[in-house]
Amino acid sequence: MLLFLGERMSQVTVGENEGIESALRRFKRSVAKAGIFSDLRRIRHHETPVEKYKRKLKQRSRNRRR
């Protein structure tokens, strides 16, 4: 299973004894962790300057905590 958006790509390899449900769950988790859906939402819809400022402010605070 692959999802490609720009430079980001999530990939999950399904093992022999692994069910498709667990592989799909791992794939969804990796996509969420990579932030692909938030980027996709931002690309598909116009982002106002205020929304852009709030997003960057949130990202800065997230980076400060690390």
Tokens of 22: 């667990």
10-62 pLDDT per residue, tens: 788 888 999 999 999 999 998 888 888 877 777 788 889 999 999 899 989 98
pTM, whole model, 2 decimals?
0.54
Cβ neighbours of residue 47 closer than 8 Å, sequence gap 6 or more: 55
Instruction: Compute the distance between CA of residue 40 and CA of residue 36 in angstroms, rounded to an integer.
Output: 6
